[in-house]
Amino acid sequence: MKYIICVIIGLMVITILGCDSSNSSEGNNARFEVYIGEQDTLSGEYILRDKPVFTDEDIKSYEWDMQIIKFKQEYLDQLDVPNIKDKYYIGGSRLLGTQASDKFYIYINDELIYDGFFMQSMVSSFYPIGAVIFDVKDGIQIRHNDIIGGKTKDLRYDGRIKDVMKTKGLF
């Protein structure tokens, strides 16, 4: 009987240690991806593009406090950015090639962390609540719009995102 109990305890210890080591190696392989969702004209639902618009491999730096993502030059060079002056561009992200009606979705290891909208035109009657992407020089900034007195939860500072960025050395 003592032998069986020792075997069971031994198997439990091995299982626990195995789970712990798999979690620590997962951090090195964690993947940060941002997808674009375009609104279907018939249903009004958002349909994700097949490929992410960018991943952690395209990021040069991530300024956590201001939520500013700067892109590597190789990524910027491959973008098809229209030659439009910022003051004439109405809504969306010129850099990422999106429209004001599009949404973005942030995933880590295929798990949705949060979603949001793109900058809207000043003449638009739609004012997005929550995360909103704005273009900045060589990157984007994700801001938080809250018009109801701090009652909207700010999901941009999710610890899983911080862990991936820290592991990848992007701070």
Give the pLDDT score at 18.
Answer: 62
pLDDT for 56-97, tens place per residue?
999 999 999 999 999 999 999 998 776 555 445 578 998 998
Residue-by-residue DSSP string for 27-58? HHH--EEEEEEEEPTTT--EEE-SS-SEEGGG
pLDDT higher for 7 or 108? 108
Domain boundaries, the chain: 1-30, 31-167
Residue 5, pLDDT score: 73
Region 38-52 average pLDDT: 91
Residues 7-34: tens digit of each pLDDT:
677 667 676 766 544 444 455 689 999 9
Higher pLDDT, 2 or 133: 133
Distance of alpha carbon 161 from alpha carbon 158, whole angstroms: 6
Confidence class of residue 53 from pLDDT cuts 50, 70 and 90? very high
The pair of structure tokens assigned to 90 is: 């109405």
pLDDT tens sequence across 139-164 = 999 999 988 777 788 999 999 999 99
Is 131's pLDDT higher than 60?
yes
Q: How far apart are CA 86 and CA 171, in angstroms?
A: 28
pLDDT attached to residue 19? 58
Q: How far from 59 is each of 72, 75, 125, 138, CA to CA, in Å? A: 6, 8, 33, 10
